[in-house]
Amino acid sequence: MLPEWFKIELKEAWEGLKVRLGLPTLRRWINEYPRVIVSIAGASAMLLLAIVIWVKLPNRPATEIVTSEKEWYYDLNTDELFVADKGLETPIEAPSGPLPSGKPAGVRAYVLSYADEPNESTRFIAFLETTASPQVLAKLPKRRDSVSAAAKWGKGKLIRRLDDEIWIPADSKLGQQILQDAFAPNENGDRPVYCQPQ
């Protein structure tokens, strides 16, 4: 059994705590605005229900990444895109036949778009790529090995913009600039993405 003086001190402490926490004020406010409390309780119940449904739903499989077994190529005779098997060493045979020099007219084309769901009107050819012949490679100045992934990718490849006439070694400074320009963000800050052929 608690002594009477201790009960009185506990009651005074509780009253002081209620005043400090604002419980009488809060209780008065609740009594004055019952609709707000009902709205808050309803919104909380809806939120709880949404969370329970979301947690209990079966896990959906992640969006499957579709990779194409085809790539874009460019016919240097007709200035048109065509599709062929992925991973071919360029130049390859083009639909229009060989170049006047007798070499194959098909080179790799990098088709990009800034659109989320690209279509023919939003696509553009960022640059063309071909493989340097051993004779051309022998004439190129020796470069020191670069740690850049783009430079490593570009070793032994020649690239050019669509309107350029001259092929540039992809691992050269000018080649690296072509790559940077191709993947530069647009005025909205969006970077282009590669468009896989259908």
Question: Which residues, other chains included, contact 58 with Cβ-Cβ below 8 Å and sequence gap of 6+?
Answer: none
Which tens digits make up the pLDDT trace of 123-137?
999 999 998 776 665
CB 105 within 8 A of CB 82: no
Which tens digits make up the pLDDT trace of 13-26?
877 776 666 666 66
Q: What is the pLDDT of residue 69?
A: 87
Share of the chain above pLDDT 70, in %: 76
CB 197 within 8 A of CB 70: yes
Q: What is the pLDDT of residue 90?
A: 87
Which tens digits make up the pLDDT trace of 77-128?
999 999 999 888 888 999 999 999 899 999 999 999 998 777 788 899 999 9
Q: Is the pLDDT of residue 34 over 90?
A: no
Q: What is the pLDDT of residue 128?
A: 93
Residue 74 banded pLDDT, cuts 50, 70, 90: very high
Which tens digits make up the pLDDT trace of 137-155?
566 665 555 556 666 666 7
